[in-house]
Amino acid sequence: MSLLFKVLLVLQLSFLLLSLTSTIASVAGEADVEAFEEIMSPYPRQPIKRPSRDRVAVQGVVYCKSCKYQGNDTLLDASPLPGAVVKLECNNTRKPITVEGVADKNGYFLIQAPKKVSTYGVHKCKVFAYSASLIWCQTRTDLNGGINGAALKYQKTSPKSLPFALYTVGPFAFDPTCQP
Ligand SMILES: *[C@@H]1O[C@H](CO)[C@@H](O)[C@H](O)[C@H]1NC(C)=O
Ligand SMILES: *[C@@H]1O[C@H](CO)[C@@H](O)[C@H](O)[C@H]1NC(C)=O
């Protein structure tokens, strides 16, 4: 074989490998690409300790405050606020991801974040108290970040049997419309 031919053959082979790699990379997910690169790498990589990438869910409770303590940052005599809407907002992607949750009859809500949001990026998320269903208890308060956004706090669960990592925010509160 001539030298030129050999060089051409090598170039062609490496091009083939390259296009194969990018095809697989675009088909597979990000995590799979990492695994694939690891296999393809001629040098064994040092294992990198990453935060785990579990699915994320966030829970909390929404209250309607008592007229006795209107304008005061307390949940004394407050009652659960069923139907209150809260929003989980995450800036993991170029366009923010927003998911709504609705409080049940106990004022409790649980929002499961979309797959794109993992424990790895949960610090880019906040939860907001958004709206209330009861007309006499409509005014948002910033208690625990209801207006400015609440950071998600990891909630240890035992036994760890949930299909997601559980976080907690709040409790949030709305102010009622009170008779003078
Ligand atoms: C608000 O809370 C503070 C501290 O507990 C208390 O001293 C004050 O009287 C409260 N104000 C109202 C309007 O209840
Ligand atoms: C996401 O980014 C926007 C624009 O910078 C910002 O207004 C918003 O508060 C951010 N949201 C969170 C949850 O950090």
Q: What is the pTM of this model?
A: 0.70
CA–CA separation, 57 vs 122, rounded Å? 10
Distance set, CA 98 to CA 87, 111, 112, 128, 129 (Å)? 7, 11, 11, 10, 13
- Measure 96 CA to ligand 2 centroid, in angstroms: 8
Atom of ligand 2 nearest to the CA of 125: 13
**CA of 86 relative to ligand 2 center, distance in Å:** 16
Ligand nearest to the CA of 149: 2
| Mean pLDDT, range 103-126, rounded to an integer | 94
Domain map (residue ranges) of the chain: 3-40, 56-175
For residue 76, report the distance from its CA to the centre of ligand 1, in Å.
11
Distance from the CA of 71 to the center of ligand 1, in angstroms?
9
State whether CATH 2.40.350 applies to domain 56-175. Answer: no
Query: What does the pLDDT average to over 127-153?
Result: 94
Q: Which ligand is nearest to the CA of 152?
A: 2
Q: Compute the distance between CA of residue 93 and CA of residue 90 in angstroms, rounded to an integer.
A: 8
Q: Is the pLDDT of residue 5 over 80?
A: no
In short, whether 69's Cβ falls inside 6 Å of ligand 1 is yes
Q: What percent of the chain clears pLDDT 90, i.e. is strictly above it?
A: 51
Q: How far is the CA of 147 from the centre of ligand 2 (A)?
A: 13
> How far is Cα 133 from Cα 92, in angstroms, rounded to an integer?
30
Give pLDDT, residue 30. 47
- Is the Cβ atom of 77 under 6 angstroms away from ligand 1? no
7-35 pLDDT, tens digit per residue, is 555 556 555 544 544 444 444 444 444 45
The CA distance from 19 to 25, in Å, is: 10
